[in-house]
Amino acid sequence: MSDVKKVVLAYSGGLDTSVIVKWLQETYSCEVVTFTADIGQGEEVEPARTKAQALGVKEIYIEDLREEFVRDYVYPMFRANTIYEGEYLLGTSIARPLIAKRLIEIANETGADAISHGATGKGNDQVRFEMGAYALKPGVKVIAPWREWDLTSREKLMAYCEEHDIPVDFSKSKKKSPYSMDANLLHISYEGGILEDPWAEAEEDMWRWSVAPEAAPDAPTYVELTFDKGDIVAIDGKALKPHEVLETLNKMGGDNGIGRLDIVENRYVGMKSRGCYETPGGTIMLRAHRAIESITLDREEAHLKDELMPKYAKVIYNGYWWSPERRMLQAAIDETQKNVSGVVRMKLYKGNATVVGRKSEQSLFDESIATFEDDAGAYNQKDAEGFIKLNALRLRIAAGKGRQQS
């Protein structure tokens, strides 16, 4: 007999997690608690309640976590201008710590002795979920069905559904998306299907959130974003909550063909993976944030922050959100944001999000010094001579010794 009496499952209501509910009940003879999070995936989550009830689940958690997701996870990450391997805005990665936290909190509330998820044994998400779970509850048992069962194909999953009378939203006769997709307020990702060939171009009808740049409006859209300590707090002068900001920018960006990405990334588990992403709001946010930093951060502060960013991105991508190194990096990043306040004006046009203006009361840009016109003595150009000679001293000494500089 299993020592697992109750398990909390991260439950989407889809095929995989519906099978997992029944599989857990049969394999572990345990009670299953389902947890469904609304983090802005764009689909109704309430139907998951009916599906879970049909599977005999008595404790069902369905929660709107959109505001917490953007406020406490997306915004802190964007303060660092975080991108992984030069391109990926970490839309899937940043959602997993929140889900892991709620899984553990619900396990504590319900007296469950295990948690479970539907991530496969080939991907990063198993690492992210479980790293978070162990960091927050060291002794918790984690059940990962994809690492245990033999249901290794969609056909086997469907056969299991038929055998156990599990209700699903589609049958073999209905058209199924060829892609594995994951969505939240920050992005939607696509993997699988023809994308498994890195030479094959993604089909146009795959994209859900954005129009093709060439089909975007011929007139640009202008938008003004107000920042307070590194976070966007208003759009065109209207104060908005964090999740409302992202919802608004997703619509603006998608309408203008902004935010599509096609990359091959290095997964933490060792393999390369080709994925396509739509991150319209995040793309705008990133460029606007760098713009407001460009006039409010000291040069060395900004440069050091840029040096830390790849490490910070790797920490999040690999699932270490709850680690001491992430907290240490976050403290340093947040310290830099105290003066990152002001307004950035963006021009959105046919796939491009272009900064066309920035202003701040904390600006370090001094027009009287930077001007090409008469600066009235604000900057003595003769000072540059000594500056250059001092910095060239080691080069002059080496050259004097006959050392080759090529």
**For residue 172, what pLDDT is reported?**
46
Backbone angles phi, psi at 299, to 5 degrees: -55, -55
Domain with CATH 3.40.50.620 in the chain: 6-65+93-164
Confidence band (pLDDT; 50, 70, 90) for 376? confident
Give me the residues paired with residue 6 across strands: 31
**Segment 270-299, tens digit of pLDDT:** 999 999 999 999 999 999 999 999 999 999
- Which residues make Cβ contacts (< 8 Å) with residue 79, sequence separation at least 6? 230, 231, 289, 333, 334, 336, 337, 340
Would you state the structure tokens that stand for residue 179, as one six-digit string?
Answer: 């892609």
Whether the predicted pLDDT of 130 surpasses 70: yes
**Segment 309-356, tens digit of pLDDT:** 999 999 999 999 999 999 999 999 999 999 999 999 999 999 999 999
Residue 198 in contact with residue 188, Cβ under 8 Å? no
Rounded to the nearest integer, the mean pLDDT of the chain is: 94
Highest mean pLDDT out of 168-182, 301-315, 374-388: 301-315
**Segment 194-226, tens digit of pLDDT:** 999 999 999 999 999 999 999 999 999 999 999
- Which residues make Cβ contacts (< 8 Å) with residue 213, sequence separation at least 6? 257, 258, 260, 350, 351, 352
Domain with CATH 3.90.1260.10 in the chain: 180-359
Q: What is the DSSP string of 209-246?
A: S---GGGS-SS-EEEEEEEETTEEEEETTEE--HHHHH
**For residue 152, what pLDDT is reported?**
85
Cα-based angle 13, 17, 22 (whole degrees, multiple of 5) = 110
**For residue 302, what pLDDT is reported?**
98
Closest CA to 143 of 122, 166, 126: 126
Catalytic residues: 16, 96, 125, 180
**Segment 231-242, tens digit of pLDDT:** 999 999 999 999
Ramachandran class of 259: left when φ > 0, alpha when ψ lies in -120 to 50, beta otherwise: left
**For residue 153, what pLDDT is reported?**
83
Residue 337 in contact with residue 349, Cβ under 8 Å? no
Whether the predicted pLDDT of 173 surpasses 50: no
Whether the predicted pLDDT of 170 surpasses 60: no
**For residue 109, what pLDDT is reported?**
98
Residue 347 in contact with residue 219, Cβ under 8 Å? no
Whether the predicted pLDDT of 404 surpasses 80: no
Confidence band (pLDDT; 50, 70, 90) for 178? confident
CA atoms within 13 A on the CB side of 201: 3
**For residue 226, what pLDDT is reported?**
98
Strand, helix or coil at 373? coil
Strand, helix or coil at 264? strand
**Segment 58-87, tens digit of pLDDT:** 999 999 999 999 999 999 999 999 999 999
- Element (DSSP H or E) covering residue 305: helix 299-317
Residue 92 in contact with residue 125, Cβ under 8 Å? yes
* CATH 3.90.1260.10 applies to domain 180-359: yes
**Segment 295-321, tens digit of pLDDT:** 999 999 999 999 999 999 999 999 999
Class of domain 6-65+93-164: alpha beta
Which has the minimum average pLDDT: 159-163, 175-179, 256-260?
Answer: 175-179
pLDDT top residue among 402 and 32: 32
Whether the predicted pLDDT of 171 surpasses 50: no
